[in-house]
Amino acid sequence: MSPPVTRLAPSPTGALHLGNARTFLVNWLLARQRGWRVVLRIEDLDGPRVKPEAVAETLDVLAWLGLTWDGPVVYQSQRHAAYARALAALVAAGTAYPCVCSRKDIDRAATAPHAEDATPTYPGTCRGKYASAQAAEAATGRAPAWRVGVPDEPVAFDDAVAGPQRFDLRRHGGDFVIFRKQNLAAYQLAVVVDDAEAGVDEIVRGDDLLDSAARQIHLRRLLGLGEAVRWWHLPLVLGPDGRRLAKRHGDTRLTHYRDLGAPPERLCGLLGFWCGALERRRPSTPDELLERFDIARLPREPVTFTDADDAFCRA
Ligand code: GLU
């Protein structure tokens, strides 16, 4: 029997910071402890925002930290044909439709956006309106994106870390974009196609993507891709203000600490401490953490990045 497969899926648009690195480390530790194959997939679908140097730097810094992967690297920018086939299947099945709404249109139409959501729920303005992308463009002069209809029932799944989940996608974002108007696959469709093709059955990532899991389960059902996936959504690393770790909290990129001369063992030790594998901050290696890491001891609460963490990495 072939081993389970997982993936590390960095987006090379912003450089890898300590929060992303912690998720990747946990993913890698689970994989190596349990004998999963690790696919590295570069999520470089953002066209002009992705610079080739950023891709090379992402690979380089993951290796510097001591993470490893199996087989060739997959680049989403090279997989357009597979995404286009999936879109064609959804269009043929009548579940995808062209949409010419701008973000402004949607903001205006939304009566009760969820405070916690970054984007308001799409009200379905273009659903059933245009027979084809050409018809939509001819009628409006706008190049359409493609959306997929969401199910009438909530999508429920069990997360190995976050527990039982249930999302009513009609109220939580509504019909979502699967292809952008630049003829680029959108995140939700691309990951589903890639995960299925690589035989990924263990998905480990930050819990800001919990609702995306519901969308991805829905897409898998529509595309007949099976649902034999185990989800592991990890609590995030937050800044001292309680918001997700980001630039506003200072420079926590791995390359920043590397450029200051910090050895990877310090970063690895901090991440190991954050994962419950070390009792205190001290230098460590992925191999040592393999012996000590226990997913049951991973804190179920978000971790807060503090000045002491920053000082430890700089030392
Ligand atoms: N590329 C995404 C990120 O860096 C991860 C997507 C996923 O794991 O599905 O946040």
1.10.287.130, 3.40.50.300, 3.40.640.10, 3.40.50.620: CATH of 5-78+235-314: 3.40.50.620
Atom of ligand 1 nearest to the CA of 204: 8
Q: 10 CA to middle of ligand 1, Å?
A: 6
What single letter denotes the amino acid at residue 301? E
Question: Which residue out of 6, 8, 11, 39 has the highest number of ligand 1 atoms within 8 Å of its CB and is therefore the one to mutate?
Answer: 11
pLDDT of residue 50: 77
Closest-CA residue to 136 (of 97, 105, 110): 97
Q: How far is CA 72 from CA 7, 37, 38, 41, 128, in A?
A: 12, 12, 10, 9, 41
Helical axes 80-92 vs 210-223, angle rounded to 10°: 70
Reply yes or no on whether the pLDDT at 115 is more than 50: no
The least confident of 46-55, 94-103, 177-186 is 46-55
Identify the sign of the CA torsion 10, 286, 289, 239: negative
CATH of domain 80-189: 3.90.800.10
Q: Which of 52-56, 77-81, 115-119, 134-138 has the lowest mean pLDDT?
A: 115-119
Condensed to tens digits (0 to 9), the pLDDT of residues 229-276 reads 999 999 999 999 999 998 888 899 999 999 999 999 999 999 999 999
**Is 293 a residue whose pLDDT tops 50?**
yes
Does the pLDDT at position 16 exceed 50?
Answer: yes
| Structure confidence at residue 53 (pLDDT) | 87
CA of 235 to the centre of ligand 1 (A): 14
- The predicted pLDDT at position 275 comes to 96
Residues of the chain with CATH 3.40.50.620: 5-78+235-314
CA of 20 to the centre of ligand 1 (A): 9
How many angstroms separate the alpha carbon of residue 196 from the centre of ligand 1?
15
Lining residues, ligand 1, CB within 6 Å: 9-11, 43, 191, 205, 209
Nearest CA-CA partner of 10 in 72, 91, 74: 74
* 38 three-class SS: strand
Where do the CATH 3.90.800.10 domains begin and end in the chain?
A: 80-189
Answer yes or no: is pLDDT of 114 > 50: no
> Considering only CA atoms, which residue is closest to atom 6 of ligand 1?
9
Q: Does residue 205 surpass a pLDDT of 50?
A: yes
Confidence label for 110 from pLDDT (cuts 50, 70 and 90): low
